[in-house]
Amino acid sequence: MRPTEDFPGFDPAVDPQEQVDRAIALLGRRPDLQGRLRINPDPARKRQAGGWSVFGFRGSAGEFNESPHLLLHVADNAVCARVILPNKARGGLWTRLRRARLAHLMSPVLREMTPAMANCPGMEPRLILKQRHWRTRSGPSFQDAYLDFDLRTLRGHPDSGVKRQPEWVEAAQHVVANKASNLELQVGATFPYDHCPAIRTVDALDHVASAWIGCRPFIEWLRVG
């Protein structure tokens, strides 16, 4: 698609939530996201704070934290565009994931994201497992564990310097197969400000959309979108 002229690019000096709100309003209008991923154009998250927001998929029921969804997060050092499988996901999705081979699920995602990475040097395809707990229902969460690795470790990527290191996806496989905690899975892209200059340009939302669309094999496996 043509660059979104109403969005100048992400800027670490600008309020993160202000950027997220502006970006999410424009991304929700994109026909590629509505057509290829079947997102609901209105953000699923109503309370706006903290530099993030999410899109649900058409046909998803319940709260956004009970179904797979798309996350846009603007942090101090990077922009993140990911597919989230929340801990409370319904429909037996975690049971299906335990029985699947994570490397086989992520290989087509990496393949689909390769053109997006070629158009956006510095973009990083990543898989994240996050485990948290809460002492009280209204209190803050405590992050007990965080596993974050580059999907290019599945087969190596000499141009970027990423080596083939299959032990990382094997570690993630072990965690998923033995899930006994409040676990969240994230798959998508990180755009670090310090070595991904394209995320600061008017093409930024195209790169975010391409990252989400690159995750379509996993979204389809989840039987959403």
* Mean per-residue pLDDT over the chain, rounded: 92
Q: How far is residue 197 from each of residues 3, 20, 121, 175, measured CA to CA in Å?
A: 15, 18, 8, 34
Residues 197 and 207: their CA atoms lie apart, in Å, by 11
Q: How many residues does the chain have?
A: 225
Instruction: Return the higher-pLDDT residue of 192 and 50.
Output: 192
Query: Does residue 4 register a pLDDT over 50?
Result: no
**Model confidence, pTM:** 0.93
Assign 3-state DSSP to the chain and report helix, strand, coil percentages, each to 5: 35, 25, 40
At 75-86, the pLDDT tens digits run: 999 999 999 999
Residues 40 and 70: their CA atoms lie apart, in Å, by 10
Query: Does residue 5 register a pLDDT over 60?
Result: no
Query: Does residue 179 register a pLDDT over 60?
Result: yes
Helix axes 204-214, 102-119, angle to 10 degrees: 160
Categorize the per-residue pLDDT at 225 as very low, low, confident or very high, splitting at 50, 70 and 90.
low
Q: How far is residue 32 from each of residues 29, 36, 39, 142, 167, measured CA to CA in Å?
A: 9, 5, 10, 37, 35
